[in-house]
Structure formats: C-alpha cells, structure tokens
Amino acid sequence: MEEQRILAINPGSTSTKIAVFQGSKSIFLKNIKHSADELAPFDNIVDQFHFRKDIILKELETADIRIDLITAIVGRGGLVNPIESGVYEVNKKMIHDLHESKLGEHASNLGGLIAHDIANELKTARAFIADPVVVDEMEDVARYTGHPKFVRHSIFHALNQKAIARKYAKSVDKPYHELNLIVAHLGGGISVGAHRKGRVIDVNNALDGDGPFSPERTGTLPCGQVAKLCFSGEYTLDQVKKMIKGEGGLVAYLGTNDAYEVEMRVKDGDQKAKEVHDALAYQLGKEIGALCTVLKGEVDAIILTGGMAHDKMLVDYIKEMVHFIAPISVYPGEDEMEALAMNGLMVMKGEVEPKVYQ
C-alpha cells in the first residue's frame, strides 16, 4: 500500500511555503515569494485567498505533483480562538473565525482556509490545522498582569516549540509528556516557553509586547514611558502599534531585521551592534532564568531553536548565563513544514485523534 501523501501549507506575510510529503519523506518543497506590488491590490489578508491558492496549485502542477493523490492537507493555524495543542480538522466554525479575523489579521489565517478549499474540491482529502500560534495551555496564575483591564495571552511559536520538544524527547528516549523543558524559539519573533509534562504552562506573548525584544518587535517596555509617549501627541495609535511590532527590536536599534547582518556587523567590530546583540542575548538568558522558577527548578533541558540559533555568539552568551540550570540542546533553524506534515500523518495513520474546534 502506498504511503499517505500530505500537503503542508504555511502562508507568511510575504511568502507562501508549500511541501508535499510521501509518508515521512519530503518529495517537494517550495518557498513562493510575494512582492509588495503583488500584494498591494489586497486591502485585507483574507482578500489574498484566491491569489495564494491559485499560485499553490500552479506550483504543484509545474512540479508534476498529482494533487488527486493527496489524502491530507495541513495548513498553518491562524489566529483562531485559544485552543489546546493538537491537530484540528477544519470545520464551519473555524472557517467563519478565520474569515472574520476577529482575533486579528495574520497571513497564517489563510492556511486553514486554503487547505479546506482544496480538500473540498478533491473530495478525497481531509483538511487540518496543527498547533497554531494561539495554543493556550497557560495556568490561570500566569494570566495575571497587575491590573484587571490587562490579561496575559498565549501567542507563541507553538508548532515549532512542540515539534522540537518532541524531537528532543525522542533523542533522549523519553516521552515528551514526562519531561520539564524550557524551549526558546529565536526567529523573527521570539518566544520562550515552560513545558511541564507536555503542556506549555507559561510563555511570553511573542506577537505584541512581552518578553525579550526580537528582530522587529520590542518585547516588554516600561509602562510609564509608553503611556507618556502615547499621550505626547506626537504619535498615532497605528504608529505606536508599528513601533511595538514591525519597527521595534533590531530594526529600531540598528535599522535592520536581518539577524545575520547584525551578527556580521558584530564580527566586523561594530560596537553599537555588539551592545544590541549582547542585550538581546541577555534578555533571552533572563527570560529562561525566570521560567526556571515557573518549573520550580526542575528542568530536564533548555532547548534553543529557530533561525538565530545558528548564531554561535548569541548561543554562547545565553549558555554562559543559564548553563547551571540544566543541560542545553541547540536545534538551529526550524522545520515547520515537516512539523505540519507529520501532524497530519499521525492523524491519517490513526496515531492521534483530530480535535474538534469550537
């Protein structure tokens, strides 16, 4: 019997990644770039639906990938309602919430919509999302801020964090749900999560103002200074929001969101770049240390993953700060396409039951 064929779809702000897996083996991978001019005609991200779907189908056709052999399509989960970790079959409620974008607009919202539409046309395939950014397993005590009008939300790189945590667990021949791990995803956004026995009980909101700064996000800011800036009359709401997400972090300090460029500038002797680079590593070490207390010091391993985990200087700085807590494992880069496909494969092989989105 031929192995299951899985299509993974991962829409980003300026690209759409697609992959086809035959069982656990990747047989096709493509990162489709979208220029600003191509996206300019669309007022909202959901309006890009047909544009992106048509490009996906065209790329598959060009690569001679028979879509009629695909049995499952797994889209990157978007900003749906907060849900537990797992694989969810796309249903009417999810489609409605993704279309309405009530919890925010993000390119990943298109993942489930496109997966469902292609599966519906094929009639022989099922559509899923897996571990979207809104996976919420936080304990109630972790939701408190300091004022009832503000609540901490779980928005993080759940897909990669969970996949890497399971990969680490397999490497030490232990079940993920028996380990206590601190996982730091170091990418365009940064999230650091406390994984206790298979659940992420605390994590910074990696989207809009919590935790360490990142290539283009500010992370946590001094509240009083932010309030003063907001009422200074010098900035609009949109400008402040852009400052927090999009034009913060490395962009604000060094004029670039390219972490590799910053690494090279440090090696070339740029003192300002070194100060900012050190500050980023310092904040990461500090965040990992804080989550050590969440796990009450019982940490089996600290895991560093994401694109910036390739940066040896950054990794070494963090290691120096937190090595006393637990062994450190580094998994540079990320493979969200494999993670999406393997989640779909587990469902199709009957190893896990898909959850129902409500």
Distance CA 205, CA 207 (A): 6
User: What local confidence, expressed as pLDDT, does residue 2 receive?
Assistant: 66
Q: How many CA atoms lie within 13 A of 208 on its CB side?
A: 12
Q: How many CA atoms lie within 13 A of 165 on its CB side?
A: 30
Name which of 137, 129, 110 is nearest 56 in CA terms. 110
Do 20 and 57 contact (CB within 8 A), yes or no? Answer: no
Strand arrangement, sheet containing 15-22: 25-33, 15-22, 5-11, 72-76, 126-130, 87-89, 355-356
For 296-317, the pLDDT digits (tens) are: 999 999 999 999 999 999 999 9
Q: Which region, left, alpha or beta, applies to residue 256 given φ > 0 means left and ψ of -120 to 50 means alpha? A: beta
Do 87 and 130 contact (CB within 8 A), yes or no? Answer: yes
- Local structure of 126: helix, strand or coil: strand
Residue type, 171: S
Share of the chain above pLDDT 70, in %: 99
Asked if the model's pLDDT at residue 104 lies above 80, the reply is no
DSSP codes, 213-254: --SSB--S--HHHHHHHHTSSS--HHHHHHHHBTSSHHHHHH
Asked if the model's pLDDT at residue 242 lies above 60, the reply is yes
For 57-103, the pLDDT digits (tens) are: 999 999 999 999 999 999 998 889 999 999 999 999 999 999 888 77
Q: In Å, how far from its chain's centre is CA 273?
A: 26
The domains located in the chain, with CATH, are: 5-136+336-356 (3.30.420.40), 158-332 (3.30.420.40)
The DSSP letter of residue 182 is E
- Provide the Cα torsion 135, 288, 166, 76; round to 10°: 40
Do 248 and 217 contact (CB within 8 A), yes or no? Answer: yes
Distance CA 77, CA 83 (A): 11
User: Quick check: pTM over 0.85?
Assistant: yes
Q: In Å, how far from its chain's centre is CA 280?
A: 19
Per the structure block, which two tokens stand in for 7? 């299509």
Q: How far is CA 106 from CA 138, 147, 302, in A?
A: 22, 28, 29
Distance CA 83, CA 131 (A): 9
The alpha-helical segments, DSSP class H, found in the chain are 36-39, 49-62, 92-100, 109-122, 158-171, 223-230, 237-244, 249-254, 259-267, 271-294, 312-322, 336-348
For 250-297, the pLDDT digits (tens) are: 999 999 999 999 999 999 999 999 999 999 999 999 999 999 999 999
Q: What are φ and ψ of residue 29, in 5° steps? A: -145, 135
For 14-63, the pLDDT digits (tens) are: 789 999 999 999 999 999 988 878 988 998 889 999 999 999 999 999 99
